[in-house]
Amino acid sequence: MDQYNQIIGFWQAYKITSVADLDKYLMIRNHPPLIVYEEDKRMYFECLQKYDEAEELSPLYQFFKYETEKTWERALAFADGMKLERKGLSDFIQG
């Protein structure tokens, strides 16, 4: 838990602007990277907004924790042979 607080402190101090920057920082320090999934982007931006308005870190901390767990649960399931659901072309074509 304290490691996440250090990461968030770094994120603030160095104005990390993307999840890729955060992942680089995490991996350099032997922490797993995370994916911000499309279905969670709204929650991510709400957490950023809360910090921006009130400097409240708890929602962002909880979001990173949640997204890290989700990332690695999916990665482990994939490694165990679970097939990932993929969108087809028809999902992108308006008709």
Written as tens digits, the pLDDT of the chain (95 aa) is: 455 555 566 556 555 556 777 788 778 888 888 888 889 989 988 888 888 788 888 898 899 889 999 988 888 888 888 776 776 767 667 65
Instruction: Please check whether residue 8 lies inside any domain of the structure.
Output: no
Instruction: Please check whether residue 26 lies inside any domain of the structure.
Output: yes
Instruction: Please check whether residue 76 lies inside any domain of the structure.
Output: yes
Instruction: Please check whether residue 86 lies inside any domain of the structure.
Output: no
pLDDT recorded at residue 36: 86
Contact between 62 and 48 under an 8 Å Cβ cutoff? The reply is no
- Cα separation of 40 and 81, whole Å? 24
Instruction: Please check whether residue 68 lies inside any domain of the structure.
Output: yes
Instruction: Please check whether residue 27 lies inside any domain of the structure.
Output: yes
pTM: 0.62
**Radius of gyration, CA atoms only, the chain:** 16
Within 13 Å of residue 65, how many CA atoms lie on the same side as its CB?
A: 11
Instruction: Please check whether residue 21 lies inside any domain of the structure.
Output: yes
Overall number of domains in the chain: 1
Q: What residues make up the domain containing 56?
A: 15-80
- Cα separation of 28 and 47, whole Å? 25
pLDDT recorded at residue 62: 92
| Nearest CA-CA partner of 19 in 3, 5, 37 | 37
pLDDT recorded at residue 1: 47
Q: What does the block give as tokens for 72?
A: 């690695």
